[in-house]
Structure 1
Amino acid sequence: MYELKDKELIFVFTGPNGAGRRTVAQMSGSTLGIKQVLSYTTRAPRPAELDGQDYHFVTMEEFKAAEERNEFIEVIELAGNRYGIKEQDVADMVQKYGTVYLVLNRHGAETLKELYGERIVRIFIYADRDTILKREQERGDTQELIDRNMSQYDIELDYKDQCEHVFENLDLAHTVFDLTKALDENYLHRKLLDLD
């Protein structure tokens, strides 16, 4: 297991499905020049998702083979699809870039916090129930998937009190602005220009 050094950090974006955590993470990462460690999944890409940009999309056989080789530090199953983070990917990216980010559910965020302690900064992104419902419908999610996500909403929301930072994502531009400013001031100290 790779041990993170003093200046090495991992930001973990988490929160309920449909809150926009992936979009916020990607825009914040781009603004701050931070690279993402991608998860592996056996699910099919959604429209507009790309292999190597949103996830590493792999077959169940490929996933199981990697799992048998103990390559994952975290594996979960949701709706029959497997998701995992490879330990070597985390180590390689942190060694190369110093600070990286991941987009994970609360279980993944908790696992990384247990493994890496204070070097993990959890950023909870949320929106109210109605906003999430509307976003998932607009995204074209199936009613079954929407119902399952909505049934988990309160459980997911409860995790926000354990996270280091919490942002309500109602206006994407404002969320990204506030978040990048907070991360820069508290951790990165890159002195981003405040164009307010």
Structure 2
Amino acid sequence: MPQETYIPCLLQLFRQHGYDGATLSKISEATGLGKASLYHHFPGGKEEMVRAVLDHLRAGFEQNILQALRSEGDTLTRLQRMCDRTFELHEGGEQPCLFAILLMGSAREIFHPQVQNLLRTWIDAIAEVLMTAGLDETLAHQRGEDAAIAVQGALILSHGLNDLAPFRRVIKQLPQQLYRDISR
């Protein structure tokens, strides 16, 4: 089977256990592959597995989030599409963000540049939409950062409280919050 076959399983495993907690034994058990087969598919070991998962997430991010922001339609509609896709990608808040998980422990040094790049791309794309609507560049970037803070913070809070309501509320309110004070 191709490497891509194991990505959903690996994504779930790294979301659940983090980089340090996802041992090769757990990975082997979850994928059904022996350790030798794991190294056959991922010669770089666990680090290559996470990189493959991040590549998968990047492709989904580009196809869903960035495409929604760059699509046709007015500003508020594009922001709403982004939030709808974010909601779907996190399964209504059920799935934690792998970015936050990979910024902890030994994974931080390895994966920080990739996570940083994805976050900057997201923030810049939101800012671009807001600048197109007439918002000042500095304020547009601040609102892009605020969006990332709101979504990531809501995911953490929802998981910490075992209550999806904060994430769902943030996703529902975010388009209007980003769009406020823009001349129509």
Q: Does the TM-score normalized on the shorter chain lie above 0.5? A: no
- TM-score, normalised with respect to structure 1: 0.29
- Hey, which of these two has a bigger chunk of helix by percent? 2
- Hey, which of these two has a bigger chunk of strand by percent? 1
Task: Say which structure, 1 or 2, has more relative contact order (CA 8 Å, 6+ apart).
Answer: 1
Larger CA Rg, structure 1 vs 2: 2
- TM-score, normalised with respect to structure 2: 0.31
